[in-house]
Structure 1
C-alpha cells in the first residue's frame, strides 16, 4: 500500500495485521480520489474526517494532496497501531487527530468538515447509520462532500443526502454524496 499522489507520493503505508480490517486497495483509492478531484478541484486547506479509518490510507492521501487537517476515528487496536505508525512515518502528527473509539461515540461537531471519508465493514449498513447520526450532530454542511465505500451490491440510501456519483471497483462500490437541496 502506497500514497498515490501529492507530497508523500510513493511513500509506503503499513496495514494492520490480521483480517479485522480491509484496507482500501490502491486501485480503489486512485478511483475515489480521481472522482473527488474532478468535483473538489483541489484538496488545499480542506478539513477532512476519515471514519472507520483502518490504516488511515484515505485521510493520509487527502493530507498528501494538501488537506490542512484530518480527524481519524478507528476502534480496532491493530488498525490504530498501524494508523499511528503511518502518521508518525509521514511526520504528519501536527495535522492529525487520531481518536480511538467508535464513530458512533462522536459528539456534536464544532463546524462541518469539508470532506468525510467512510470505509466501514462491508454489508453492515454501518456507514449509513454513522452518516445519519453525523447529519443530526452537525458534521455535514452544505459544502461537505462525503465518500462512502461499501460492498458492490450494498444499497446506499440516507435521508437528506443525495447521491452525486457511484462507481463499482472490484468488490467495492464508491458513492459520493452531498446534502440534498430539496
Structure 2
C-alpha cells in the first residue's frame, strides 16, 4: 500500500498483507482509494479536502486519513479500537511525519461520545462489512457533534448502506466487492 497522490505520493505504508481477519483489518486498496479521491477532488459538490478536519472511523491502517493529509487536509483524527490497527496507524503517521497534524483515538467508533474539538468536514467510514457498524458509528458521530455542517461522508461497505437523515447521499459507486457511498451533511 502506498499513498497515491499529493505531497506524500509514493510513500509506502506499513504492510498488513491480505489484512488481519481477527482484527477486521481490510485495507482499502490503492485503486479504490484513488477512485475515492478522484470523486472528491473532481466531483460536482466541490473539493472538500483543502484545509479539512478529517475523521477516519474504523481507520485500520490510517491510509484514508493520511491520503487526505497528503492532498491538503489540515488535520486528521484516526479512530480504531484494535491493537493491531493502533500499531499500524502509529507506524504510518511516523512514516508520513504527520504527528503534528494527527490524533489517534483508541475508541469504539460506534460509541464515540461527545466531541471536545472542532467538528470534522470530511469523514471516512470503512467498517467491517455486513455488521451494521457503519450505521451505528454515523449515529454516534452525529449525536456527539463530530460531523460539521456541510461535511462530506465517504462510506465503504459491501452493500449500499442505509444513510440516515440528516445526511443526504449524492453519489454511489461500486469497485469490485466495495460500494462507496458519498453523502453530505446539510449546512454551509
Q: TM-score, normalised by structure 1?
A: 0.92
Could you list the per-position Cα deviations for residues 137-172 of structure 1 after superposition, in whole angstroms to 9, with x for gaps in the alignment?
Answer: 212232111000001x34323132111100000100
Structure 1 contact 16–81 (Cα < 8 Å) conserved: no
CA RMSD of aligned residues (A): 1.6
Q: What is the aligned counterpart of 1:127 among 103, 111, 134?
A: 134
Alignment-derived partner of residue 173 in structure 1: 179
Alignment-derived partner of residue 34 in structure 2: 30
Distance 2:14 2:177 in 1: 22
Could you list the per-position Cα deviations for residues 111-143 of structure 1 after superposition, in whole angstroms to 9, with x for gaps in the alignment?
Answer: 321101010001111111111121122122321
Moved over 6 A (4+): none
Aligned residues: 180
Q: TM-score, normalised by structure 2?
A: 0.89
Where does 1:1-182 land on structure 2 (aligned, <5 Å)? 1-16=1-16, 18-19=20-21, 20=23, 21-38=25-42, 39-41=45-47, 43-109=49-115, 110-151=117-158, 153-179=159-185
Distance 2:123 2:31 in 1: 20
Structure 1 contact 29–58 (Cα < 8 Å) conserved: yes
| Unmatched runs of 5 consecutive residues or more in structure 2 | none
| Unmatched runs of 5 consecutive residues or more in structure 1 | none
